[in-house]
Copies of this chain bind each other. A is one copy, B any other.
Amino acid sequence: MSDVNSECRPTTDRMPGLTATLVFTLGTLGTVATDRFTRALDAFDLGLKPKHVALLVTLGAGAAASQQELAGRMGVAPSLVVSLTDHLEQLGAVQRVRDPQDRRRQVLTLTTVGRRLVERCEAAGRALDDELAAPLTPDQRAALAQALRLLADQVGLP
């Protein structure tokens, strides 16, 4: 059993400490990931932010949903769903349809334009993945993806 990388340390003895922690490393890598994803979205020049994409993905993950339900699933305020939806509706990516059973509800649906948009984001994401996962072996990358998915499922993420 070869020890995991315990060489190549700086001369100053540093304890692994927080950097060996999942929460800390996930947090820091997470901001790097969303920063890069944000820049990729900027290149689309559609005024999209990661939260817009998160809404599309959340919408695509389940059945069509009201804005309140979306807010609940995404863990954001209902007022934020309003502005995100405003923008996405302007782009033609989602549609607001009044629920005839309860005319207070706006049921959101993903349009063909929206699905194509998600596919563009997906392609951009795969390109970013290849940069990011460059130092990983295929096996390591697969194990990482599997573990992340398990964590995401556990915390109720799409």
Binds B, one of A78-86, A98-106, A141-149: A141-149
Contacts of A17 in B (CB 8 A): 57, 60, 118-119, 122
**17 interchain pairs (CB within 8 A)?**
A4-B146, A5-B95, A11-B63, A12-B62, A12-B63, A17-B57, A19-B57, A21-B122, A22-B33, A22-B125, A22-B144, A24-B53, A26-B132, A27-B34, A29-B151, A30-B30, A140-B143
Q: Given A11-B64, A109-B7, A136-B147, A152–B29 Cβ distance below 8 Å?
A: yes
Q: Mark A106-132, 1 if CB is under 8 A from B, else 0.
A: 000111100000110110011011001
A1 to B44, CA, bound (A): 33
A residues near B (Cβ < 8 Å) are 4-7, 10-12, 14-15, 17-34, 36-37, 50, 53-54, 57, 59-64, 95, 109-112, 118-119, 121-122, 125-126, 128-129, 132-136, 140-155, 157-158
Copies in the complex: 2
CB pair B22 A148 closer than 8 Å? yes
